[in-house]
Structure 1
Amino acid sequence: MSEQVNLLVVGEGGREFAIAKKLQASPHVKQVYCAPGNVGMSTVGVQPVDIAETDFAGLIKFAKEHDVAWTFVGPEDCLVDGIVDDFQAAGLKAFGPRARAAQLEGSKDYALNFMNNYGVPTARHASYRDQTAALAGVDQFSFPLVIKENGLAGGKGVVIAPDRETAIRTIKEMFASGQARLVLEECLTGQEYSMFVLLSNGHYRILPMAQDHKRAYDGDRGPNTGGMGAYSPLPQLSAAARQQIIDEVVEPTVNGLVAGEYHYHGILYIGLIMTAAGPKVIEYNVRLGDPETQVILPRLATDLFELVDRALNDQPLPEVKTSSQASFGVVLASKGYPQKPVHGQTLGRFPQVAGISIDYANVAGDQDQLVGNGGRLLMVETLADSLQTAHDRVYAYLASLNEPECFYRHDIGAKAGLTTEN
């Protein structure tokens, strides 16, 4: 493709900010639109569009009117609800799995059955449709016990119950909140990693790996969140262990997608734990993760446009080239996140500092007077020659801010041996 094209990104958060920014930087791209986007996107030349991500008809109309070559879908709920199916029915190209394949994220039970069918290693598990059976099932597991809501929960529908009393209470609360099915799983131990695979109907490329930090507070304490920070690469993961993940997890997963005739064109996130018995999958996501996207895309030396464009057109995929630099990012979140985040707090204007990038998410207002508009507000990210240097640069920036209605974790990267000087 020689002439420059227009693209559309669907979504509004930090993940979509990073995707749109990376695509806008491609020499093949004229203009990236993001619907609905956020006010921070103008800082990287991306044009927000006032169309809700759930308004599939409106998005299709916009894509046709603005000669959009293809659309990159960010959020999981849109994929589960069939946005790619609708775009294809309208004769448009959209990067992401169709609704059937999106059930790999939309239903924990569906994903576990897929893993069982195609020999993908995972935790011992059982799913339950009613409270009585789930309560009885608790005694089939030891503690701590992982309890998962079956459907989409924005990364927050998981409770690790340390004892029977907590497990019983959690199960009752989840069913009382309207859950139709729960999954109980053994609690795996080991380091957790994020593997991102770009798929083109059985052909694939592996993007840079990252490690996310799900718990809200330092020391992996507090409730699960959508993610409080991430970094890449992973010095604690050996080349041999990475290859083991590819052989034992990625290959059977991709082979299963082909055997099941999913015709998958999109990103598959594989969340896994490297246990003493080898890698085991915790979950699949059918899109890029947030906040991992914000640290892996800056390290991607291959043009993201070329990767996606070739995948959508079933052309040979280019090799993935990765920067030798390290990427590190920390999320600034509203006080009270994830349970009851503060809204509307004055954030002001974030200072521009050499080497620091800000990927905006839940913000409103304008660049001179930003206000908070949700849980995770933005991510402060940088590239540096070492992880420790990147870590120090990000935390120095965060320490310089005066945002009393916000908080962030101070120990991102501790599992990679990074240290914070107090």
Structure 2
Amino acid sequence: MIGGGGREHAIVHTCARQGHTVLCTPGNPGIAALARILDSFQDAESLAELAVRESADVVVVGPEAYLAAGVVDACTALGIPAFGPTRAASRLEGDKGWSKAFMLRHGIPTAQHATFTELEGALAHLDSQSMPTVIKDAALRAGKGVTIAQSQAEAEAALRDIFSAPDACAVIEDFMTGQEVSVLALTDGEHFALTPPSQDHKTIYAGDTGPMTGGMGVICPFPLSATDLEVIKTRIIAPTLAGMRAEGLLFQGVLYAGLMLTPDGPKVVEFNARFGDPEAEAVLPLLQSDLAQHCLDAANGKLDPQTVQFSDEASAVIILAAPGYPGDPVRGVPLGLPDVGDGEIIFHAGTRMEDGELQSNGGRVLAVTAVAPTLNTALARAYALADQVDFAGAQMRRDIGGRIGAQAVEE
């Protein structure tokens, strides 16, 4: 397992509870309780060589930055199966301008948009946009490169921020209305199995206000209609995989479709090339079949979707974020974790051990997860557990699930 956040803790937890021996780099204190932590390397070749030395059966790549760095390519070159897209195929996430053009080429429904490599042209285009409008940094920004601008001044400020970096590229797109939903597909490039649909809550404050974050909480499953699910399968996931194959970019791993359920049907907000974070912390506790085997099968082009099985229970994830997040998070805050019951898990997202003390070490610090027969019960248990965490100044949204009328009450 390559990575050290909440998503990687969820993957390690799933593989470990299914009886596998897991090695991880760089890991975190939560992962260290379940897996053997290996030396930390950043470059793709060293990570692939590490997998060879450890005789790994399969390498699972968590964060998008490692995919963009070509870890899968390096592992494949050394004969190690790796679960994730190649550097070229991960461009579907890593370059939003290219991704939008790909969707147009293959008729995949998404918002009207325009892509710019110069500030002047982007600013001029704003004159034709109605507000709110969406401004996106085309490069990887860990889920925080998006601004929903309510005014022209806010849109201009977002563009100037993006173009303050060299070789910048920005996407300006129409604001879509409706419920957001995340659908993840495990795929070998042709065959795919969908996880239960989930819903993340991206902004820092309740009521979907404040700056964008990497995600502040998830409910799963989201109540998706059979009609919308069929559209997602046949007009979004399948054509995307077919389009990637047609362009010589076989996509293996997890295709994450961030979607908006608009009045005109589901449309793509953006694609990611890996498990979502914190969606993984909600979806994977519901997986009943063998994740490591699915990863190996997908990497070898042999995924059987019928073998991928999820329970019919529900899960809820509450993120505890550090003071200052999503700006400059305060690190080194002592953390006290409560005991957990059946169906409860506290995933470490940004933690460290310092002189024997567990401390915060990132923006999103803990992902508190509960699984229960109903969503309301899962929410109630997740919030009750989150409230027992000793974390001074922690930020937590109190309205996770509220968009669909779910409530954190015991049933």
Q: TM-score scaled to structure 1, two decimals?
A: 0.93
Question: Are 1:303 and 2:295 an aligned pair?
Answer: no
SS in 1 for 2:89: helix
Q: Which position in structure 2 is the counterpart of 1:181?
A: 169
Larger deviation, residues 158-167 vs 84-93: 84-93
- Partners of 1:56 and 1:83 within 8 A in 2: yes
1:367 Cα offset (Å): 11
CA deviations 1:318-352 (Å, max 9, x no partner) are: 41222011111101110110101101111134433
The 1:183–1:232 alpha-carbon spacing in structure 2 relative to 1, beyond 3 Å, is same
Q: Per the alignment, do residues 368 and 170 of structure 1 end up closer, same or farther by CA in structure 2, a change over 3 Å counting?
A: same
Q: Which residue of 1 aligns with 2:229?
A: 242
1:286 maps onto 2:276 in alignment:
no
Structure-2 residue corresponding to 1:12: 4
Report the CA distance shift for 1:185/1:362 in structure 2 as closer, same or farther (over 3 A): same
SS at match of 1:407: coil
Partner residue of 2:38? Answer: 49
Q: Report deviation, 1:368.
A: 6.5
Aligned AA for 1:156?
Answer: K
SS in 2 for 1:122: coil
In 1, the alpha carbon distance for the partners of 2:408 and 2:166 equals: 42
- 1:314 is aligned, of 301, 311, 321, to 301
Cα distance in 2 between the residues matched to 1:32 and 1:168: 47
Kindly state the Cα deviation for residue 258 of structure 1 after the two structures are TM-superposed.
2.0
Structure 1 alignment gaps of length 5 or more: 1-8
In the alignment, which residue of structure 2 is the partner of 1:6?
none
Correspondence for 1:264: 251
Say yes or no: does 1:417 pair with 2:408.
Answer: no
CA RMSD between the two structures: 1.6
Task: Indicate how the Cα distance of structure 1 residues 179 and 351 shifts in structure 2: closer, same or farther if over 3 A, else same.
Answer: farther
What residue number does 1:111 align with?
A: 99
Q: For 1:418 and 1:316, how far apart are their aligned partners in 2?
A: 35
Q: How far off is 1:291 after superposition?
A: 0.1
| Structure 1 CA distance for aligned equivalents of residues 255 and 189 of structure 2 | 12
Identity of aligned residues (%): 39
Match for 1:36: what amino acid? P
The 1:315–1:173 alpha-carbon spacing in structure 2 relative to 1, beyond 3 Å, is: closer
Equivalent positions of 1:224-235 (< 5 A) are 224-235=212-223
Which stretch shifts more, 209-218 or 170-179? 170-179
Query: 2 CA distance for matches of 1:282 and 1:274?
Result: 10
- TM-score normalised to the size of structure 2? 0.95
Tell me which of 78, 86, 89 is aligned to 1:90: 78
Q: In structure 2, the residue corresponding to 1:352 is in which secondary structure? A: coil
Q: Is the 8 A contact 1:39 1:48 kept in 2?
A: no
| Distance verdict in 2 for CA 1:401–1:358, change over 3 Å | closer
Amino acid at match of 1:75: P
* Matched residue, 1:194: 182
Letter aligned with residue 51 of structure 1: S
Query: Is the Cα contact below 8 Å between 1:51 and 1:58 reproduced in 2?
Result: no
Which residue of 10, 13, 34 maps to 1:21?
A: 13
> What SS class does the counterpart of residue 365 from structure 1 fall into?
strand
Contact 2:132/2:148 (8 A) holds in 1:
yes
**Count of aligned pairs between the two proteins:** 408
